[in-house]
Structure 1
Amino acid sequence: MIGLNPIPVPVQQPLAAARRHSLALRPDGTVFAAGDNRQGECGVDGWRNIVAVAAANVHKANNTGSSHSVGLRSDGTAAAAGWNRQGQCEVGEWRDIVAIAAGWRRTIGLTAQGTVVAAGRNDEGQCEVSDWHDIVAIAAGDWHTLGLQSDGTVRRSGNRQYGLDESDRWRDIVVIAAGYLHSVGVKANGTAVAAGSDRQGQCQVGSWQYLSIVSAGSYHTVGLRKDGTVIAAGSNEYGQCDVGDWRDIVAVAAGCTHTLGLQSDGMLLAAGSNESGQCEVCERTE
C-alpha cells in the first residue's frame, strides 16, 4: 500500500493525454508525440532518459493555445515543451523530482523528500503547495491540485467548488487523479471514490472494483482493473469511453475528449476525438 511508505519512489507514467495531443514513453527513454503542435507541445524528439510524461489536459472551453508537455528524466530533472506564457515550462532548475503532473497553465513536481514544487498559473491558488510534506503522489486538474499523503489522506489546493473539497475527507487512498472539475481516488481495497462536478456522470465510480489505476479527463474517468481490463464513466460524446473491449492493458490516460491505453506488448490504443491527430498512436512503443 502506497500510504505506508513515507518516501515517494519514481512513478512510472508512460502515457499522457491532453486536449489535442498525446505522449507515450518508449522503453529506451525517448518520447513519442501525436497531435496538435501549434505551441510546440509535441516538440519532444530531443528528450532522452525520460521515465515519466505529463501533458496539460486543457478543458475545451479554456484557451486552446495553452497546452504544454512535461518529461521527467531518470536523474530527477525535468524537461518541458509548449506554451509558456505563465511560466509553466520553467522547470529547468528542478532537482530530485520523482513524479510530475501538468494542469492548465502549470506544472507540479514531487521531490524525493516528499515535498512539492509548482510553476505557472496560481490565480486560484492551485500552486500553493510549498507547505505540503509526506506526499507520495500528485495530480493536477485544470484549477486544482491534489497530493496524496503517506497516511492515505489527500491534500488539495486551488478550486474548491462543485464539492471538490470532499476529497479532504478521503481515507485509505493509494492512487489519485484530477480532471477539469472532479477528483478521483482509488482505495487500498481497489474501490474508487470521486468528488466534484458530476454533470456528465464522471463521478459515477462507486461500483468500480479491483482497480489499480484511475485517470481523470475533462468530463470522463477511466479505470484500469488489476486484470488488465478498462472501465469508463462520464461523457462519451466522442467515443472516449469506448474502452470496454480493451484487454491486457498496463497503463491508461484520459484526455479532454480522448483516452489512451498501453498494452503489455507495447501496443498503443486510442479512443475518442482525433480532430488534431491525437489518436494516431497505434504503434508499438517497443
Structure 2
Amino acid sequence: MNIEGDWLEQVALKVKRWPKVTIAAGRRHTVGLKSDGTVTAVGDNKYGQCDVSGWRDIVAVVASNVHMATNTGNAHTIGLKSDSTVAAVGWNTHDQCNVNDWRDIVAVAAGWRRTIGLKSDGTVVAVGRNNEGECNVSGWHDIVAVAAGDWHTIGLRLDGTVTAVGNNRYGQCNVSGWCDIVAVAAGYLHTIGLKSDGTVTAVGLNKHDQCDVSGWRGIVAIALGSNHTVGLKSDGTVAAVGWNEYGQRNVSDWRDIVAIAAGCAHTVGLKSDGTVVAVGDNEYGQCDVSGWRGIQLPDN
C-alpha cells in the first residue's frame, strides 16, 4: 500500500472542494489575483505591501491583517507561485517576508508579523514573530489548511479536527474538541470553523458578537476581519456578524458572490463575472476595487 500516495489523494479530494484564495484583504489594503496569474492591489502602500505588479505565475494570495489597536500600518502580502515557491512584499521587521527558500508549498497564511506555509506532505513552516508561540508549528502533521490571526495560528487536519498555537487569552485556541471541519479562519482574537454540513462554530472574544454564528446555515466559505465574521452562502449571498463601525458588515444586498475576504474593517466579495465589490473602511482606498476585472474565480 502506498501510504503517502493515498494520503496525498485524500488531500487532493478534500482541497478540491475549497476555493482558491484569489482575493485577500489586509489591514489597509486589498489584493486580487487575476486569471493570467498576475496580481493587483490597492490601498496603503507605506511598507510596499502593494508592490505586486511584477508578480507572475501566482496561484494564491494572502494579506496580513492587523487590528486597529495593535498597530497602525504594518502589513505584508504573500503570493504562492505555480512552482510551489513563495513571494513576499511589505513590512519585514520580524523576517516575516523571508520565504525565498521555501519549497513544495501548497497554501499560505499571513498573520501579524509572521507568515505560515503549508507543505504538500502536510507539515507546516513559519517565519516571523514568535513571542507567544504562534510559530510553533514544526510538529504539525497531516495538515490540509492553515489560518493566522494576530497572535494565534490554526491548522486544519486531514481528519477534520483542528489544532492551534499562540495566544489563548480569550479561548481563541480552544479548538481541540472540533470535528468535521472543512475550513478554518482566524481573526484578531477569535477563530471560526466551517463544518461539512454548512454550519459554523466559533471560539474566542465575542465583544462585538463576532462569534454569533450558531444560527448560520448553508455556508460554503468563511472570512474573518479583526472583529467581524463573514460567511458566503451556497446561493451566492453573504452573511456577516460583529463590529460594524465602518459598515464592513453591510453585505446583505450582495448577490452572485463566489469568494469573500475580510480586512481589519473592510469586506471584499468576488462576483462570478470576475468583478469585485467592497464595503467598510476606505481611508486608504482599500475598497476602490470597482474597476477590477478578470479576477480569478475560486474554481479556475
Query: What is the TM-score with the length of structure 1 in the denominator?
Result: 0.97
Deviations 1:125-182 (A, max 9, x none): 0000000000000000000000000010001010111122321211110010000000
- Mapped partners of 1:64, 1:242: distance in 2: 24
- Mapped partners of 1:25, 1:119: distance in 2: 23
* Structure 2 partner of 1:131: 139
**2:18 aligned with 1:13, yes or no?**
no
- Mapped partners of 2:193, 2:40: distance in 1: 28
Choose the corresponding residue for 1:200, options 208, 212, 234. Answer: 208
* Structure 1 partner of 2:81: 73
Choose the corresponding residue for 2:250, options 242, 252, 256. Answer: 242
> Aligned AA for 2:164?
R
Could you tell me whether the CA contact under 8 Å between 1:27 and 1:285 is conserved in 2? no
* Structure 2 partner of 1:34: 42
Choose the corresponding residue for 1:105, options 106, 113, 121. Answer: 113
Are the structure 2 counterparts of residues 150 and 62 from structure 1 closer, same or farther at C-alpha, using a change threshold of 3 Å?
same
Could you tell me whether the CA contact under 8 Å between 2:165 and 2:173 is conserved in 1? no
**2:277 aligned with 1:272, yes or no?**
no
Are the structure 2 counterparts of residues 270 and 178 from structure 1 closer, same or farther at C-alpha, using a change threshold of 3 Å?
same
Choose the corresponding residue for 1:122, options 123, 130, 152. Answer: 130
Choose the corresponding residue for 1:51, options 54, 59, 63. Answer: 59
Consecutive aligned runs of 4 or more in structure 1 exceeding 3 Å deviation: 6-11
How many angstroms does 1:97 deviate by?
A: 0.6
Bigger CA drift: 157-166 or 269-278?
Answer: 157-166
- Mapped partners of 2:152, 2:174: distance in 1: 13
Could you tell me whether the CA contact under 8 Å between 1:9 and 1:112 is conserved in 2? no
What aligned pairs does 1:249-264 form with structure 2 within 5 A after superposition? 249-264=257-272
> Aligned AA for 2:290?
C
How many residues get paired? 284
* Structure 1 partner of 2:4: none
> Aligned AA for 2:198?
G
- Secondary structure of the 1:5 match is helix
How many angstroms does 1:227 deviate by?
A: 1.1
- Secondary structure of the 1:194 match is strand
* Structure 2 partner of 1:232: 240
Deviations 1:200-248 (A, max 9, x none): 0100000001111001110100000111110000011000000011111
How many angstroms does 1:285 deviate by?
A: 2.9
* Structure 2 partner of 1:281: 289
How many angstroms does 1:50 deviate by?
A: 0.6
Deviations 1:49-94 (A, max 9, x none): 1111111111111122421000000110000000001000000110
Deviations 1:21-60 (A, max 9, x none): 0101110111110000010000001000111111111111
- Mapped partners of 2:287, 2:47: distance in 1: 18
> Aligned AA for 1:105?
R
* Structure 1 partner of 2:166: 158
Could you tell me whether the CA contact under 8 Å between 2:166 and 2:173 is conserved in 1? no
Structure 2, unaligned runs of 5 or more: 1-8, 295-300
Could you tell me whether the CA contact under 8 Å between 2:185 and 2:222 is conserved in 1? yes
> Aligned AA for 1:239?
G
Query: What is the TM-score with the length of structure 2 in the denominator?
Result: 0.92
Structure 1, unaligned runs of 5 or more: none
Could you tell me whether the CA contact under 8 Å between 1:25 and 1:285 is conserved in 2? no
- Secondary structure of the 2:83 match is coil
CA RMSD of aligned residues (A): 1.5
How many angstroms does 1:9 deviate by?
A: 4.7
